[in-house]
């Protein structure tokens, strides 16, 4: 009886379009309502300040879900790609701030450059780890994430009338520079200042939509099926003529690209410090993905909204904040493994779809 029931797979359900539409509407609806609440001053500035980072984290979670949930490979270095995007975008914007005064031209370029550089890192890191799986892949990606952060932490870039000055691991000798026009851009582990605040909430939400569009369409296509086939049974996928290398690289690249974009958006909305991108962030994003129900794009998004906002909104609890947060994590984990909860979810989201098939 139970066996004959059609179990639907996220992103793959027959009425795939409807399922995607729900996700878009949820995202647009949530941020639309939030913006209205902020505008009407119902929600405070604390809440307002959460919205842009929340968008960045949604992009991170949705792109990480592609690696962890769809390809089925554990990656613990996602923050590294965000770090690459953030710093490349920030340096570009600071350097070209006077040359390209219009944010309308400068910021898209910064985004593109940050995203593409992160994607390049995705490929460069992806190639040597193609053969690794499971725990080994997790450890290596963790290491790569930290290496990227440490590299950035040791980078010194300054600009003067003569052009750009680079230094690695030690500060640039001030005597070698024209002091009158000297301006520090990156100063090692110090926070980066002077990044134009180009990221608006509208823009961030649009990029969330773009991420959802690309990732969900990719999953629901020939390539997505191949990627999930590799996840479900690598040997059978090979015997069916699916190239493992090609599809793994597609995933690493797309996933890194959107993490890079998230980084650029993040860097242009607040102060930038390399310690923000340590492995804690990677783990945090992974928690969003896992508790959203591995493999579910919509789940990753919802989990991010709840779990990112929660610690901030619970600040009034002071010392008990993390305790409550931990309890929420456990409750979400239990719900994820609860058949009744899944049934409820189905009746909420897919009732119409079911009627069609029966």
Partner 1 sequence: MSFLEVTNIGISFGGLRAVDDFCLHIEKGELYGLIGPNGAGKTTVFNLLTGVYKPDRGTIVLDGENLTGKSPIEINQHGMARTFQNIRLFHNLSVLDNVKVGLHNQIPYSALEGVLRLPRYRKAEREMDEKAEELLEVFDLQGEKDYLSSNLPYGKQRKLEIARALATNPKLLLLDEPAAGMNPNETEELMETIQLVRKRFDMTILLIEHDMKLVSGICEELTVLNFGSILAQGKTSQVLNNPDVITAYLGE
Task: Quote the CA–CA distance of 123 and 228 in Å, as a whole number.
Answer: 20
Task: Kindly tell me which of 88 and 261 has the beta carbon lying closer to partner 1.
Answer: 261
Task: Kindly tell me which of 12 and 201 has the beta carbon lying closer to partner 1.
Answer: 12
Task: Quote the CA–CA distance of 210 and 214 in Å, as a whole number.
Answer: 6
Q: Which two tokens stand for residue 135?
A: 């725990």
DSSP-based three-state secondary structure for 187 = strand
CB of 119 to partner 1, least distance (A): 13
Task: Kindly tell me which of 215 and 281 has the beta carbon lying closer to partner 1.
Answer: 215
Task: Quote the CA–CA distance of 323 and 181 in Å, as a whole number.
Answer: 51
CB of 66 to partner 1, least distance (A): 12
CB of 215 to partner 1, least distance (A): 9
Task: Kindly tell me which of 14 and 197 has the beta carbon lying closer to partner 1.
Answer: 14
- With b for 16 or more beta-carbon neighbours within 10 A and e for fewer, the 31-58 pattern comes to beebbeebeeeebeeebbebbbbbbbbb
DSSP, res 6: P
Task: Kindly tell me which of 94 and 230 has the beta carbon lying closer to partner 1.
Answer: 230
Sign for the pseudo-dihedral over CA of 39, 44, 46, 47: negative
Task: Kindly tell me which of 231 and 268 has the beta carbon lying closer to partner 1.
Answer: 231
CB of 233 to partner 1, least distance (A): 5
CB of 251 to partner 1, least distance (A): 10
CB of 16 to partner 1, least distance (A): 10
Task: Quote the CA–CA distance of 343 and 281 in Å, as a whole number.
Answer: 32
Task: Kindly tell me which of 68 and 88 has the beta carbon lying closer to partner 1.
Answer: 68
Q: Which two tokens stand for residue 198?
A: 């180009």
CB of 79 to partner 1, least distance (A): 25
Task: Kindly tell me which of 4 and 337 has the beta carbon lying closer to partner 1.
Answer: 4
Q: Are 276 and 151 contacting, i.e. CB atoms less than 8 angstroms apart? A: no
Task: Kindly tell me which of 5 and 170 has the beta carbon lying closer to partner 1.
Answer: 5
Strand partners, 155: 168
Sign for the pseudo-dihedral over CA of 316, 322, 323, 328: positive
Which residue is it, tokens 């919802």? 302
Cα dihedral value 255, 260, 265, 268, nearest 10: 170
Coarse DSSP helix, strand, coil percentages of the chain, rounded to the nearest 5 percent:
70, 5, 25
Q: Looking at the chain, how many residues does it have?
A: 358
CB of 309 to partner 1, least distance (A): 30
DSSP-based three-state secondary structure for 165 = strand
Q: Are 211 and 58 contacting, i.e. CB atoms less than 8 angstroms apart? A: yes
Q: Alpha helix (H) ranges present in 96-233?
A: 103-126, 134-153, 201-219, 222-232
CB of 269 to partner 1, least distance (A): 27
Task: Kindly tell me which of 112 and 314 has the beta carbon lying closer to partner 1.
Answer: 112
Residues that bind partner 1 (CB under 8 A): 3-9, 12, 14, 213-214, 217-218, 221-226, 228-229, 231-233, 235-244, 250, 295, 357
CB of 188 to partner 1, least distance (A): 39
DSSP, res 27: H
């Amino acid at each position: 009886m139970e066996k004959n029931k059609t179990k639907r797979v996220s992103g793959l359900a027959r009425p795939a379009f409807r399922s995607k539409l729900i996700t878009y509407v949820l995202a647009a609806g949530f941020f639309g309502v939030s913006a209205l609440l902020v505008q009407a001053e119902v929600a405070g500035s604390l809440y307002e300040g959460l919205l842009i980072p929340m968008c960045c984290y949604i992009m991170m979670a949705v792109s990480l879900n592609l690696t962890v949930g769809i390809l089925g490979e554990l990656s613990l270095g996602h923050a590294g790609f965000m770090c690459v995007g953030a710093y490349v975008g920030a340096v570009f914007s600071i350097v070209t701030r006077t040359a390209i005064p219009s944010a309308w031209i400068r910021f898209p370029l910064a985004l593109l450059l940050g995203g593409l550089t992160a994607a390049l890192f995705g490929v460069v890191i992806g190639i040597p780890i193609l053969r690794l799986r499971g725990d080994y892949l997790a450890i290596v990606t963790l290491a790569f994430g930290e290496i990227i952060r440490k590299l950035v932490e040791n980078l010194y870039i300054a600009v003067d009338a003569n052009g750009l000055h680079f230094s690695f691991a030690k500060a640039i000798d001030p005597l070698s520079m024209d002091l009158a026009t000297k301006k520090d851009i990156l100063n090692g582990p110090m926070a980066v200042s002077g990044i134009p605040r180009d990221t608006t909430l509208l823009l961030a939400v649009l990029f969330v939509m773009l991420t959802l569009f690309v990732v969900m369409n990719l999953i629901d296509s020939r390539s997505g099926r191949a990627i999930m086939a590799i996840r479900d049974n690598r040997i059978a996928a090979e015997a069916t003529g699916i190239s493992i290398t090609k599809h793994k690289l597609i995933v690493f690249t797309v996933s890194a690209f959107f993490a890079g974009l998230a980084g650029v958006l993040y860097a242009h909305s607040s102060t930038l410090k390399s310690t923000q991108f340590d492995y804690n962030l990677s783990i945090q994003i992974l928690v969003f993905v896992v508790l959203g129900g591995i493999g579910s794009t919509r789940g990753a998004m919802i989990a991010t909204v709840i779990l990112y906002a929660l610690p901030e909104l619970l600040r009034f609890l002071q010392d008990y904040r993390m305790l409550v947060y931990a309890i929420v994590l456990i409750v979400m984990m239990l719900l994820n493994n609860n058949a009744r909860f899944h049934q409820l979810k189905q009746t909420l989201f897919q009732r119409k779809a079911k009627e069609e098939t029966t």
